[in-house]
Structure 1
Amino acid sequence: MNILGGCEIFLMEEKVIYTMGYGGREFDEFVELLRFYGVEVVVDVRRFPTSKREEYKRENFERLLTERGFKYVYLGDLLGGYRSGGYESYMETSEYKRGIERVIELAEKYRVAIVCCERLPWRCHRRFIGDTLRERNLKVIHVIDKDRIWKTLL
């Protein structure tokens, strides 16, 4: 596991897929993080897209992000966590593979962030999604904070 700072080394022209969690952040702080990394499309991978905080409930989250200029795509039905039999088994299904293909299609046109609640990627199913994308030769960076990222080495 590598935790790196100094994220400015990742230039805007590079094709990168980010993952990030909104947990523990005010909505405006989360939006600032998205803008810092140049994100254009937020891919919500929460299986159950609700929250105790109103701004993170799916319908509000989508509306608020759209109002701030982001495109919102919900893929929690295909890529969301909490699967019976475990997430690693779920990764072998056609639904999971369809979700991965959709992320790749979006990443060909936009700068994408795969998002759910958990801030730390090693505690979240985003790490599995990231590993799958890396196996497909895509660059994935798990964002923890503005100046802190986590990169796994495959």
Structure 2
Amino acid sequence: MNAPFFTIGHSTRPLAEFAGLLKESEIEMLVDVRSIPRSRTHPQFNLDTLPASLCAQGVAYAHIAALGGRRGRRNTDQLSPNTYWTHPAFRNYADYALGEPFREALEALLDLGREQRCAIMCSEAVWWRCHRRIVADYLLARGETVLHIMGPHQVRPATLTPEALPQPDGTVIYPEASAKPRATPN
């Protein structure tokens, strides 16, 4: 059985607290899924300092930019199949996740997860306001276990977003509730 994947947001935490959360969940590899791996207000999480700080704690670091958020609108005339997401940032990311760059990056993440216990990190404290929730949906749709690190002694199991529809090709779409196929009544 594969080790579970974890998600975490660095938020405003001091590095020692953040490292403690990783240690508590026995994380061996932190996978940074920020498009821009830096923080003006919390430089302890910048790409030029974080890997060395984590290494000193026995945690490896990888940055997978292709899993990063902040995606623009798709350049297509086709309507988005992800109309469940009313916030443009989530819809844009869900649309981006349908493409090859995301698929390749997800495979790289899965490969890392086969080798060591991984946590994916972004800056947002809570998973439900972050693109990590869509990455988690893709992992869950692949049969992986995902847990959200919320704080000390607070790890919650991830569940598939209610409107998520895993597709045969491995993608996940998020149609509006009214567009989602339902069982016919008896």
TM-score bracket for this pair, using the shorter chain length: 0.7 to 0.9
Structure 1 position 145, deviation (Å): 0.9
Tell which structure's C-alpha radius of gyration is larger: 2
Q: CA RMSD in A?
A: 1.4
Which has a greater percent of helix? Answer: 1
1:29 aligns with 2:35: no
Which has a greater percent of strand? Answer: 1
Gaps of 5+ in 1: 1-12
**TM-score of the superposed pair, with normalisation by structure 2:** 0.72
Partner of 1:58: 47
Partner of 1:70: 59
Aligned partner of residue 58 in structure 1, secondary structure = coil
Q: Aligned to 1:133, which of 133, 139, 143?
A: 139
Quick one: higher RCO (CA 8 Å, sep 6+), 1 or 2?
Answer: 1
**TM-score of the superposed pair, with normalisation by structure 1:** 0.87
Question: Residues 61 and 148 of structure 1: is their aligned pair in 2 closer, same or farther, counting only changes over 3 Å?
Answer: same
Q: Aligned to 2:100, which of 88, 94, 98?
A: 94
Query: Is the 2:29–2:119 Cα contact (8 Å) retained in structure 1?
Result: yes
1:38 aligns with 2:44: no
Instruction: Map residues 111-126 of structure 1 onto 2, 5 A cutoff.
Output: 111-126=117-132
**Distance of 1:119 and 1:101 partners within structure 2:** 25
Gaps of 5+ in 2: 74-91, 161-186
Partner of 1:148: 154
**Distance of 1:62 and 1:28 partners within structure 2:** 14
